[in-house]
Chains A and B, each alone.
Chain A
Amino acid sequence: MAAFPTSSVGLRVSLHVEIPSDVAYIERVVDLVRHPCAELQFNPHHLALNVPVALSEALSNAILRGNQESATKTVRITADVDVTRLVVEIADQGARFDLDSKTRDATSVENLEREDGRGLFLMRKLMDNVQRFDAPGGGVEGNVIRLTLSRR
């Protein structure tokens, strides 16, 4: 783990963001989450690649596939960052899905030249852990994707 100022030990940043189901908000949310990771001196490659790409994928899935860009649905994002790790949860209001069966091997011969189907694959390659939960509240819709990345 890279050295960090003593004043960072015990520091924990929590963010709560809610956005309309519009992909125009993705870049802004990525910047909001990346900022505290940079403050806590996460690995530069994680800041430039892993965090922005995995988070963009989770957000675009939530907006386009989950909420189907509905004007009446929102995406909620919570992020917790400290000197050990980043945990981000992205919650949509769409139809539930199975993470494993929807993840395609984007590198196989039959998929390599496909235009789509790399999102979940990349998310899982770039994060230490990706989990899907049913959104709380007892309804029949809604997914929460939890992305976890260790600071190292």
Chain B
Amino acid sequence: MSFSIKKQGEIVVVDVEGQLIVGNRQELKQKVLDELERGEKKFLIDFAQTGYIDSSGLGVLVSLSKKIREQGGELRLANLNDDLRTLFELTKLDTLFQISDTRDRALSSF
């Protein structure tokens, strides 16, 4: 499991490879907060290569969403497979996040 971060124009794109769970959520949080502290405002987290997400992983996404909004920024999510989408629907987090089917759609939604 790992996270890779790259810039596409003004947007910070984070790829989550493997699981987003209690054992690695802090690493994701810190990486995004570091970028936010550097002044970045637009964030996209791409789940195309993600296995499963537990409640701690969901909690980190909620927390990051709040912190980014507080700084006047935006967080978008992309490429949730059917199972991850079910997870967001069960927790109603699909109502809290702007979720796109593809990375391109997410990038053009900012």
Contacts and interface: CB of A to CB of B under 8 A. Distances in A.
Contacts, number: 79
Interface of B is mostly: helix
A55 to B, nearest CB: 9
Interface in A17-51: 23-24, 26-27, 45, 48-49
B53 interface: yes
Contact of A116 (B52, B59, B93): B59
Contacts of B60: 115
A49 B21 contact: no
Interface residues of B, number: 29
B86 interface: yes
Interface in B65-95: 66, 81-84, 86-87, 90-93, 95
Contact of A49 (B19, B23, B87, B93): B87
Contacts of A64: 22
Contact of A107 (B23, B52, B66, B91): B91
Given A45-B83, A107-B92, A119-B55, A113 B62 contact: yes
Interface magnitude class on chain A: 20 to 34
Given A60-B21, A122-B91, 12 more contacts: A23-B21, A23-B23, A27-B21, A45-B82, A48-B52, A48-B83, A56-B22, A57-B54, A106-B92, A112-B93, A113-B96, A118-B55
Interface of A: 23-24, 26-27, 45, 48-49, 52-53, 56-57, 60, 64, 106-107, 112-119, 121-122, 125-126
Considering the complex of A and B, which 7 residue pairs feature the smallest CB-CB distances, nearest first? Answer: A118-B55, A49-B83, A115-B59, A107-B92, A56-B54, A119-B55, A48-B83
